[in-house]
Amino acid sequence: MVKSRLIVENQWLEIVMFVVILLLMRAECYYVPITYLESAVAQGAVCLDGSPPAYHFDQGSGAGINNWLIHIEGGAWCNNATTCLAKRNTRLGSSKYMTKQYTFSGILSKLQKFNPDFYSWNRVKVRYCDGSSFTGDVEAVDPRTKLYYRGARVWRAIVNELMAKGMKNAQNVLLSGCSAGGLTAILHCDSFRALLPGAKVKCLSDAGFFINAKDLNGAPYIQQLFAQVVATHGSAKNLPASCTSKFSAGLCLFPQYAAQGMKTPLFLLNAAYDAWQVKNILAPGVADPHGTWHDCKADIKKCSSSQLQTMQGFRGEFLSALSSLGSSSSRGMFINSCYAHCQSGMQETWLRSDSPLLDGTSIAKAVGDWYFDRKAFQNIDCPFPCDKTCHNRVFE
């Protein structure tokens, strides 16, 4: 009797805790409706399936009315007809499958408490549905697959739409993105800045610094994949000329080459043990056919000593790729030693009482200080597991 009563009480406690967590999450974020850019279809600026591109827009107020923050969604890439067809009928290939409401939190929050430097700005979430980090532009459409490779056109159409909404009069602009969207922010940064000569423009790449590293077996898996992305989407003409004049177009999807010639101030927010890169660059399925790395990739705390040693080597490669950019006083860096991927869009990692810290500084403060030239921030964390402020990802 006592035992069953304790079980019931524990179940109620779990329910109460779950409700409290949900209420806290609702207090930290809110929903913004989708806008479909129907006019872009006539320009051929469409998602993989031919549907119109989309974005979510929350208008600024007060002192932020003429300031704009653009945040580009991530979602990897597709490198051939087969993988693009797999995306075609998902939110990453069609606006038909996108959620009608998008959660704005972290860097997109409108609450001063959670986003003190950008809360009053015009904030835009650009949805990702082309599979090329907005670099593709192939006129022909294969009648068999009916796939459209038009990412660069989508990007231009959305930027033109935002300019018409008032961005052309902007005083301050931050172009940002997560993962493949973070890569987009790097690739389009200089050309975007050229459209706004009267504004202060900077760019933030969150988890977008993908490195050209070999996999566990020494194979150039990610290098081959990026080359295929460029070939499939016809991306070469839309990559930074400062890069393609020196390197092959396939290499110019990698920031370690593409960002070398950048003129616009750039902030790199990245985990040195980026979860996506560990899972897909260091130890992709093709390099681990027996699943030896399965548990380690799901939870860094389950890595063996030899696997951790391999990951420390990957961190070394990551930092070496960073150093290839050379030094720049205008660059910001927050490179922590967490097992994470994308840290600006979630409140728990952007700014909260338990958020990740580097040198006692939150990501939100580091980015804000850098953008407004209050204080330089170029910090690289000590190796795992020294950082106790991390929110390490655990995958099912």
Indicate which residues carry an active-site annotation.
179, 274, 341
- Give the distance from CA 369 to its chain's centroid: 21
Q: Which residue has the tokens 């606006």?
A: 95
* Close Cβ partners of 290 (under 8 Å, ≥ 6 residues apart): none
126 forms beta bridges with: 55, 72
DSSP alpha helix (H) spans, the chain:
2-28, 81-88, 151-164, 180-187, 189-194, 221-233, 241-244, 255-258, 275-277, 294-298, 305-323, 347-350, 363-371
297 neighbors 392 (Cβ within 8 angstroms):
no
Alpha carbon distances (Å) from 361 to 38, 202, 350, 355, 357: 42, 20, 11, 9, 5
- Give the distance from CA 86 to its chain's centroid: 21
The sign of the torsion formed by the CA atoms of 304, 308, 310, 314 equals positive
- Give the distance from CA 197 to its chain's centroid: 25
Cα first-last separation, the chain = 36
The angle subtended at Cα 69 by Cα 76 and Cα 77, nearest 5°, is 10
258 neighbors 190 (Cβ within 8 angstroms):
no
379 forms beta bridges with: 334
Q: What is the 3-state secondary structure (H, E, C) of 60-128?
A: CCHHHCCEEEEEECCCCCCCCHHHHHHHHCCCCCCHHHCCCEEEECHHHCCCCCCCCCCCCCEEEEECC
